[in-house]
Amino acid sequence: MKISIQKNNLLIAVLGAGMLFTACKKEGCTDPTATNYNKKANQDDGSCKYDNNPDGPVVTTEWTEDITANTTWAPGVINVCGDIRIEAALTIQPGTILNMCAGASISVRETGSITAIGTSTSPIVFKGDVASPGFWEGIAVTSNNPNNKFDYVTVSDAGSYWGWEYANVFVDNLAKLSLKNSTISNSEGPGLYAHASATFTEFSNNTFSNCAESGLSVSATQVKYLDNASNYTVSNGTDQIHVRGAVMTSAATWAVKSSPILIDGNVDVDAALTINPGVHIMVESEGEFQVRESGSLTAEGTAGEPIIFEGRFESAAYWKGINIGSNNPNNRFDYVTVSDGGSYWGWYYAGINVSSGRLELDNCTVNNSNSYGVYINGSSTIYSGGAVQSDAAGVNTYNTITGNGVGPDADCVDGCTVYFD
């Protein structure tokens, strides 16, 4: 009987311990990296959630194939290796991280599109496996599909391919891209490069930083897309927006004034170009503005926000200057400064040359020109103070034209202000 009692006591003890062990178990998320980590839980129940995937655990996959059918990349980490051609519709969901292998690239072909729309709290990230400029080739958009959209997207560490101008993001001729709330950084060359006929269906509130060259490089035909909410300052000591010369055949307004516009080449104006108050234009050596017969240039600043045209460096005859070859009455300069021009003999070494047209010039400053500040050719007409002027004194009454005739080809007299041919 005693033995039976001892056995019963032992059984009760074992059962009690089992019940106690079971009672001490607490299910929940046991992963400290999860957003819903429960430090009291001692048994994982599969409920963990993460910033880049609120519905479950981080998923890491590898992608090495072209996209030939409509595809969605769900939140998680995707290791992208190789040259990936997008030939159908690719949708990337918020929180997706694209970890790019060395030398990898993404090219959106003519039949494809890329829609990458993140959120402020769950952006979409394209980054190199190593955070080094030029680690991977970049993203090239050659499609004109309106679904090519980047919103809350970060692209970094690319730009190794010369064919894509060493840029993180390359937008080809005739291609379309909407770019909003996005950051492009740490590029081997410009952060963003767009060919002359590329279109930005939307462009706002973007950041360009830490790029080896400019934050972005666009054509003169694309300056009209740029906004003042975007940050164009890069960490190489410059904040100019690199603008390549082009022939402008459609009307445009330049409004961006948060950073200087650096013109590299010749801007030929064959349509109506309007420049808003506060815009600051710098011109590389031998660059020019030429208003052709079918074009016009309206640059009307204010006393508090003048418009500036100047050489990239302060040197007489650094750039060619502005030539007005149009009779359009919209050729008007008000509160405009033109400096450092006159390198071109064909424009008589002047900062402003009116070759065969008309110009209204009021409240303007022209200085540091090679020779004359303003040169009026033949039957051309200049207005100041609301009236046609026929001598330098009349123009000088309403403008400040001083400090000219200081270049290597100076051949001027009477203060080198205005010359009537």
Do 345 and 365 share a domain, yes or no?
yes
- Model confidence at 236: pLDDT above 80: no
What pLDDT does 259 receive?
93
Mean pLDDT of 67-89: 97
Q: Are residues 228 and 312 in the same domain?
A: no
Q: Mean pLDDT, to the nearest integer, of 69-82? A: 96
> Nearest 5°: CA angle at 75, between 74 and 78?
85
Is the pLDDT higher at 235 or at 265? Answer: 265
Q: Is 121 contained in some domain? A: yes
Task: For residue 54, name the pLDDT band (cuts at 50, 70, 90).
Answer: low
Tokens of 229: 């909410």
Residue 43, domain member (yes or no) = no
Q: Using the 3D structure, point to which of 218, 239, 260 is the last residue of a domain.
A: 239
Whether residue 136 lies inside any domain: the answer is yes
Assess whether 229 and 248 both reside in one domain: no
> Same structural domain for residues 268 and 146?
no
pLDDT value at 81 more than 90: yes
How many other C-beta atoms can be found within 10 angstroms of the C-beta atom of residue 304? 8
DSSP conformational letter for 33? T
The answer as to whether 140 is a domain residue is yes
How does residue 5 score in pLDDT terms, banded at 50, 70 and 90? very low
Average pLDDT over residues 337-363: 97
Based on the fold, state whether residues 269 and 227 are members of the same structural domain. Answer: no
Indicate whether 228 and 81 sit together in one domain. yes
Residue-level pLDDT at 3: 39
The verdict on residue 6 lying in a domain is: no
- Residue 47 is predicted with a pLDDT of 66
Total tally of structural domains belonging to the chain: 2
Tell me whether residue 259 is in a domain.
yes
Least confident of 15-19, 161-165, 372-376: 15-19
Residue 395 has pLDDT above 90, yes or no: yes
**Which residues share a beta bridge with 353?**
323, 375
Is residue 129 a contact partner of residue 96, using CB atoms and an 8 Å limit? no
Sign of CA dihedral 128, 53, 181, 219: positive
Q: Same domain, yes or no, for 322 and 402?
A: yes
d(CA 333, CA 303): 13
- Which domain, by its residues, includes 192? 51-239
Sign (positive or negative) of CA dihedral 341, 344, 346, 348 = positive
| End-of-domain residue from the set 185, 218, 239 | 239
Q: What would the mean pLDDT of 321-339 be, rounded to a whole number?
A: 98
Strands 381-384 and 387-389: antiparallel
Are residues 232 and 252 located together in one domain of the fold? no
Residues 266 and 230 in one domain: no
pLDDT at 46: 60
| Pair 175, 142: CB distance under 8 Å | yes
> Are 369 and 321 in a shared domain?
yes
Residues 275 and 225 in one domain: no
pLDDT class of 28 with cuts at 50, 70, 90: confident
For the chain, give me the number of helices (H) and strands (E)?
2, 40
Does residue 9 belong to any structural domain of this protein?
Answer: no
Mean pLDDT on 283-304: 97
Is the model's pLDDT at 294 over the cut of 60? yes
The pLDDT score that the predictor gives to residue 13 is 45
Structure confidence at residue 26 (pLDDT): 76
Q: Look at 43-52, 204-213, 303-312, 362-371 and tell me which has the smallest mean pLDDT.
A: 43-52
Residues 203 and 57 in one domain: yes
pLDDT in tens, 113-159: 999 999 999 999 999 999 999 999 999 999 999 999 999 999 999 99
Mean pLDDT of the chain: 91
The answer to whether residue 14 sits within a structural domain is no
Q: Per-residue pLDDT averaged across 346-359, rounded? A: 96
- Given a cut of 80, whether residue 195 has pLDDT beyond it is yes
Chosen domain end from 190, 214, 239 = 239
Q: Which residue has the higher pLDDT, 405 or 10?
A: 405
